[in-house]
Amino acid sequence: NKMDSPILEPSLYTVKAVLILDNDGDRLYAKYYDDTYPTVKEQKAFEKNIFNKTHRTDSEIALLEGLTVVYKSNIDLFFYVIGSSHENELMLMAVLNCLFDSLSQMLRKNVERRALLENMEGLFLAVDEIVDGGVILESDPQQVVHRVALRGDDVPLTEQTVTQVLQSAKEQIKWSLLR
């Protein structure tokens, strides 16, 4: 009977989570694409576990809690892409490298905690360009950076408008106080 075959069908839903932790293992960014870890408490316990298992090693791949974890560290950041145990680590690695290279371009090679925290919006946009709902969409950092820039172009406009509104409000308050 074919139904009993243990061979798993290939799935488009490759990525279970994308995580960025700082050098204390604390979460800077986490996006989970399924409910393997349904609560924040469970997610943070998992994050502590992978950090403890990986932050002192030089390898790039770990099997943990029945999952494949690929990772990379830079200065004070640890990047993780997590897939199921039968997932192709090359696919996960492509996601990891794409994310890292995209951020490296966006942060002008300054891939460290402070620069990342100042550019969280870019990070959110980049991850959304690379993975959507666990499905890998893009592995070319040039494309990711280009699309983030296009989407980011909308941002200064709204920021500018808010700034202008605040500025004119300040002016009005100032004038009303001077009357």
CA distances to 32, 46, 59, 99, 124 from 69, in Å = 13, 11, 11, 15, 20
Task: For residue 101, give the nearest of 82, 133, 74 by alpha carbon.
Answer: 74
- What's the pLDDT at 160? 47
User: Per DSSP, which regions of the chain are E strands?
Assistant: 15-22, 27-32, 61-64, 67-74, 77-84, 131-132, 135-136
Percent of the chain clearing pLDDT 70 (strictly above):
79
Name residue, tokens 């192709």: 88
Do β-strands 15-22 and 135-136 pair in parallel, antiparallel, or remain unpaired?
A: unpaired
pLDDT recorded at residue 2: 46
Number of H helices, E strands in the chain: 6, 7
Pick 169 or 156 by higher pLDDT.
Answer: 169
Q: What pLDDT, on the 0 to 100 scale, is given for residue 60?
A: 93
**Location of structure tokens 């990711």:** 144
What is the reported pLDDT for 171? 65
d(CA 29, CA 42): 15
Long-range contacts of 43-48 (CB under 8 A, 24+ apart): 47/19, 47/21
> pLDDT per residue over 68-105, tens digit each?
999 999 999 999 999 998 888 999 999 999 999 999 99
**pLDDT value of residue 157:** 44
Residue 59: partners with Cβ closer than 8 Å, 6 or more residues away: none
In 10 A of CB 35, how many CB atoms?
9
- The predicted pLDDT at position 58 comes to 80
What is the pLDDT confidence band of residue 158, given thresholds at 50, 70 and 90? very low
Separation CA 1–CA 115 (nearest Å): 55
pLDDT of residue 175: 63
- Model confidence pLDDT, tens digit, residues 117-142: 999 999 999 999 999 999 999 999 99
**Averaged confidence pLDDT in the chain:** 86
Higher pLDDT, 73 or 179: 73
What are the chain's domains?
9-155 (3.30.450.60)
